[in-house]
Amino acid sequence: MAPPLIEARFRVDWPGFSLDVDLRLPGRGFTVLSGPSGSGKTTLLRCVAGLERAPQGRLVVDGEVWQDGAQGLPVHRRPIGYVFQEASLFDHLSVLGNLRYGLKRLGSGADPARLEQAVALLGIGHLLERRPERLSGGERQRVGIARALALGPRLLLMDEPLSALDLARRQEILPYLERLREELDIPVLYVTHAPDEVARLADHLVALEAGRVLAHGPLQELLVRLDLPLRLGEQAGAVLDATIGEVDTRWHLARADFDGGSLWARDPGLPLGQRVRVRVLARDVSLAAQPGASSIQNQLPGVVEAVGADDHPALALVQVRVGAALLLARLTRRSADQLGVVPGQRLWVQVKSVALLETR
Ligand SMILES: Nc1ncnc2c1ncn2[C@@H]1O[C@H](COP(=O)(O)OP(=O)(O)OP(=O)(O)O)[C@@H](O)[C@H]1O
């Protein structure tokens, strides 16, 4: 059987802006839509939801045609969950009342087990009797997400769901979103500007600019492309898929093995064999002609693939291959010049620090 898939083709023409996309996206996992403000991310979500008219559009979700030209399911018949920046909850109802409210509309089609699953996934069991005004911003969002999931959607749309929260609240809610990424069997289209959300949540990335798709593909491939203005700035870097291969209890370090080498990082307390994402920021990677006697524990042989401009004229981004993996290194252009960095060159890649992110 072919893997599930989303086919989304939309064209919208407004004075001053047009959206023109033709995408085939994975039917599972998180697809993150990224792009500068005004590039059409929300418009694309609204087209998928049927809230925006795109008369020549086509939308197929997991083999089911939701829209074909002017024919299509009306908004209320699309099995979609839509999560916005702020959850609009009814203040006169308890959390449970809010969760049940949408289910009533489904009538006999509602499945109470889904509500229970949603409550468990978002960890809100202890909040069910509370009134929304007594929830923190992060808790409100978790309730909003649970409410969307309780309806048993076939597709979840999330438009900057963390952007109204402060840093501490975002850190608190991210693990729940990671859990959704691991456990949901429906696809999620997720809009964000935040590099840490991209690194932690995205399986697939769509880069939009001025209503057009610049590129889309697996996160690991897109993050290291030098030709895409993903505008990650200080957060530019690679994400590698790895497995915990060894734990050094004496020094509290864990070794993450990826297809091409190993990197030591602070031990996050995960078991051997655990799959992880390794986030390696370009600013933490340097290049050397020889393996050095330095304090840097992670030194890997690599080959320069490409050299590109960075945000500041003093800096260069170097894409370097280590085994099957691609990393980015941020150097000053002066040191790149002194090293004579050119594609094909063999160098030592020194990685000062990496973050291990749990995954399954
Ligand atoms: N109903 C509309 N009529 C005309 N233009 C619109 C309409 N809705 C949005 N636009 C314009 O379409 C463009 C894309 O808007 P959209 O909200 O999709 O961008 P975005 O990528 O989600 O931006 P942001 O990151 O700021 O949320 C913007 O220039 C916006 O002003």
Q: From atom 11 of ligand 1, which residue's Cα is the shortest distance away?
A: 17
- Ligand 1 pocket at CB < 6 A: 14, 17, 35, 37-43
pLDDT in tens, 188-213: 999 998 888 998 899 999 999 999 99
Tell me if 87 sits within 8 A of 140, measured CB to CB: yes
Q: How far apart are CA 8 and CA 162, in angstroms?
A: 25
CATH architecture of structural domain 5-230: 3-Layer(aba) Sandwich (3.40)
Q: Which pLDDT value is given to residue 70?
A: 86
pLDDT in tens, 281-338: 999 999 999 887 766 779 999 999 999 988 889 999 999 999 999 999 999 999 999 9
Query: Which ligand 1 atom minimizes the distance to the CA of 191?
Result: 22
Amino acid at 160: E
Query: Which ligand 1 atom minimizes the distance to the CA of 160?
Result: 27
Q: Which pLDDT value is given to residue 165?
A: 93
pLDDT in tens, 161-171: 999 999 999 99
For the structural domain made of 237-358, what CATH number should be given? 2.40.50.100
ipTM above 0.95?
yes
CA dihedral of residues 273, 278, 284, 287 (deg, nearest 10) = 70
Q: How far apart are CA 167 and CA 346, in angstroms?
A: 40
Which tokens is 109 given?
């089609």
pLDDT in tens, 241-293: 999 999 999 999 999 999 989 999 999 899 999 999 999 999 999 999 988 77
Q: From atom 4 of ligand 1, which residue's Cα is the shortest distance away?
A: 14
Average pLDDT over residues 73-77: 90
Q: How many whole angstroms from 9 Cα to the centroid of ligand 1?
A: 18
* Substitution site in 42, 160, 231 for ligand 1 pocket (most atoms within 8 Å of beta carbon): 42
Q: Which pLDDT value is given to residue 28?
A: 93
pLDDT in tens, 113-140: 899 999 999 999 999 999 999 999 999 9
Tell me how crowded residue 3 is: count the other CB atoms within 10 A of its CB. Answer: 8
223: Cβ contacts below 8 Å, ≥ 6 apart: 198, 199, 205, 230, 232, 236, 237, 238, 239, 328
Q: How many whole angstroms from 31 Cα to the centroid of ligand 1?
A: 20
Strand order in the sheet with 80-83: 80-83, 155-159, 188-191, 30-34, 204-209, 212-218
Q: How far apart are CA 358 and CA 256, in angstroms?
A: 11
Domain boundaries, the chain: 5-230, 237-358
pTM of the model: 0.90
